[in-house]
Structure 1
Amino acid sequence: MKICFLTGNIFTIGGVQRVLSVIASELSKYHTIDILCTDDNLVIDRKMYNLNQNVNIVNPTGLRNKNIINKVFKGINRITGMFNNNILYKVLTEIYFPRKMRKKLTQYLNDNKYDLIIGAEGYYSLLLGLISKEIDAKTIGWQHSSYNAYLNNRYRYYWNQDKLFKEYLHNLDKCIVLTEEDSKLYKEKLNINCDVIYNPLSFQSKIKSKCNDKSIIFVGRLVKQAKGLDLLIKAFSLVNQEKEDWQLKIVGDGPDRKKLIKYIYKYHLENNIILLGKSDNVKKHYLESSIFVSSSRWEGFGLAITEAMECGLPVIAFKNSGPKEIINKNNENGILVPCNDVEKLANTIIELIENRRKREYIAQKSIERAKDFSLKIIIQQWCEFIK
């Protein structure tokens, strides 16, 4: 089968890029795989996510919407929602997906005679749904964040684009989401049937953490609002008042690094919080830690959570869509905390610090749960799904 994944740029930092690389690499053992990147500034770096050489990277020009007027109208719609209705949604369609760009993409996809095309994330799922009747291949939309993050997250993601989702996702042959909760929401809100396929682990670890280092770890992009790093630092300031000998390690990079440094200094935590930056060996950092914390305000899945589990770490996470699905037995294979409750998060961290037996118990149950996200299991599901 000849399969094309449609995305922006697979060689940038992010969970979507990493998961797509893992899935595409594995499927390339059985199928011909292309990844079509629309970014005009694409720089190929296969080492970034160990992308298999069998995966073809294609980068046709002219598939980016660079129209300045459209950008202005996007901003107006995001704030007012004036085009997000039954009367003006076709104007909104043209703003996000200009006809000239759609025509060029349609021709490219048909010329290359794909059997299956998969749109990664909401934007490319919508685009694929919009042109699906004009292309010869089967189509799948693959959502990488939660329904609420996409459509109920004020001014972010696809805020005030509900009408486009209602109008075009129905045209796809199939749709993939990451959690059962999202599957129910898409059915309830948009009357769209979705299949659930989890994101796979990007590595396995025979060695497990001994949970005896006095360190807590966070792994992810440094985006303060989405990843809740302001909440995490505030919570750790409360932890530090009682446990001065513990440290917080933050692994990752992103646009809010400078803001976070100021936040760390605000709480006088510069000696207890370590910004480790982007790492090519994140497994090492997991293994040298004792507790993993996910402070995300929203999380479609939580790849770092499953990685931490694989490395034998007990996980504490805010109770949003992804973590709820992964930690399916609260206080057993992880601990869920009410969303944005900084004090509860701090108290839960302190409890695990003081109770090594509980840390080790949850860690062991986490290792068992991580098996459900093994690449072998997830790829089997993908192979069955795309038959």
Structure 2
Amino acid sequence: MSTVLFACMDADTLGGIQRVTHTVAQGLAGRGHEVHVLGLHRAETPFRYVERPGYHHHVLHRTPMGTRISRLGARRERRMVADLCRRLEPGFAVLTSPGVVTRLKRLLPGHLLPIGQYHGSYQHARGSWHLGSVRGHYGGLEKAVFVSDDDAWSFSENALLPNTWSIPNPLPAWPARTAELAAHRVLGVGRLEGVKRFDRLISAFALACRDTAGVADDWELHLIGEGEERERLRAHALACGIADRVVFRGAVPAAEMGREYLAGSVLGLSSEHEGLPLVVGEAASHGVPSVAFDVSGGVRSLVLSRRTGVLVPPADVDGFAAALTGLMSSERERRRLGAAARAHVEAFRLERVLDRWEALFDHVLR
């Protein structure tokens, strides 16, 4: 068994990196590894991901992420990292983002082998500072881990990384029941923020309602999540003439999301960019097919177009509407795609993802 240290900029905020980190940490601890989760900063609003953690948890700074670190704070960070690492047996340090890599890679002792993670897509990295940071810092690590084979290949070819590897984000649970897919409900799940482009989902749903008039007149779009875009999205639904068919559900606790998927028949993913969107995998595990914009290798790894769901070119609202129309009009097609989607995401079950992490550790040590 190995020692594994997962380091995040902030380990306890409600977010995808944090959720995956705590899920994998708990899973590896359950397999007998000594696991530590380190947050460089405290969360302003901490979220508890695991009720009874089998791993150790540490926070370096009392200030939230984004706060400027003084020289004294930087010296304190170096001292605390050194003290923590000195107590750990030989193993691995998994650095979960470019910011963590640049902060910690020079502080790690030789007995902790550094592995860099990038949870986003190559497409997103290319449009931000992330690509330069990954290109400049990940090549010197033991491995650079990406969420899909497509993304690992893209970073290898375009960022000239010689050490790429792919491990998908795991599904935190596997449901025993699947959705009946008879309910006339499209789901949109995520923070109500600009990057999720729920305005496009609303527009596409409005067009699909028009095209299924007389066949699917009672369909609703349920948006599950909170965020600053809520009132703008409500106004957009009104402008599209479907205010009475778009239901803003607010935040739903993670433990209750299973009921939401069981009550849905289609998931719509309208984001501008995604790494590996777990909501698509969670919906698929409940037998619910997705319509998604083809924005990343992670999305493509979850949605095999016309086989487990429908992929649409990015920002193609008309194409998205046509895909929704097809599924809203045919329960038989929803069932075909939903069953195939559930079978496909078996590969994303936690135990299988943990196997891949252990295979990576073995590969690095050989």
TM-score (norm 2): 0.87
Aligned to 1:252: 225
SS at match of 1:176: strand
Alignment of 1:296-315 (within 5 A): 296-315=271-290
Cα distance in 1, alignment partners of residues 243 and 83 from structure 2: 52
Q: How does 1:33-112 map to 2 (within 5 A)?
A: 33-41=35-43, 45-46=47-48, 49-61=49-61, 66-67=67-68, 100=75, 103-104=78-79, 106-112=81-87
**Superposition CA RMSD, Å:** 2.4
Preserved contact between residue 209 and residue 325 of structure 2 (Cα < 8 Å): no
Q: Distance in 2 between matches of 1:8 and 1:118?
A: 12
CA displacement at 1:238 relative to structure 2: 1.2
* Greater fraction of residues in strand: 2
1:371 CA displacement: 1.0
The range that moved more, 282-291 or 29-38, is 29-38
How far 1:43 moved relative to its partner? 5.9
Match of residue 218 from structure 1: 188
Quick one: distance in 1 between partners of 2:119 and 2:98?
8
Quick check: 1:190 aligned with 2:155? no
Q: One-letter code of the match for 2:148? A: T
For residues 162 and 320 of structure 1, do their structure 2 counterparts lie closer, same or farther at Cα, with a shift above 3 Å needed? Answer: closer
Please state how far the C-alpha of 1:67 moved relative to its aligned partner.
Answer: 2.8
8 A contact 1:130–1:168 mirrored in 2: no
Q: How many residues align?
A: 349
Question: Separation in 1 of the partners of 2:313 and 2:307?
Answer: 16
Q: 2:325 aligned with 1:324, yes or no? A: no
Question: What's the secondary structure of 1:340's corresponding residue?
Answer: coil
Quick check: 1:129–1:170 contact (8 Å CA) kept in 2?
no
Question: Which residue does the alignment assign to 1:177?
Answer: 146
Q: Secondary structure at the match of 2:61?
A: coil
1:104 Cα shift?
4.0
Q: Where does the alignment leave 5 or more consecutive residues of structure 2 unmatched?
A: none
Residue of structure 2 in register with 1:87 after alignment: none
Q: Is the 8 A contact 2:115 2:145 kept in 1?
A: yes
Per-residue CA shift, 1:89-124, capped at 9, x if unaligned? Answer: xxxxx9xxx964763464244333352211112321
Map 1:4-23 → 2, pairs under 5 A: 4-23=5-24
Please state whether the residue corresponding to 2:93 is helix, strand or coil: strand
Q: Distance in 2 between matches of 1:161 and 1:44?
A: 26
Q: Does 1:124 align with 2:126?
A: no
**Shift of the alpha carbon at 1:146?**
0.6
Specify every segment of 5 or more residues in structure 1 that has no aligned partner in the other structure, as ranges: 71-93, 153-158
Asked if the contact 2:60/2:77 (under 8 Å) is kept, the reply is: no
Give the alignment's TM-score, normalised by structure 1. Answer: 0.83
Runs of 4+ displaced beyond 6 Å: none
CA shift in 2, pair 1:161/1:297, >3 Å: closer
Paired with 1:19 and 1:265, the residues of 2 have a C-alpha distance of 36
- Deviations along 1:340-365, one digit per CA (max 9) or x if unpaired, are 10011011101111122111111111
Q: Aligned partners of 2:18, 2:280: CA distance in 1, in Å?
A: 17
Contact 2:327 2:334 in 1 (8 A): yes
Which whole-Å CA distance do the structure 2 matches of 1:261 and 1:130 have between them?
48
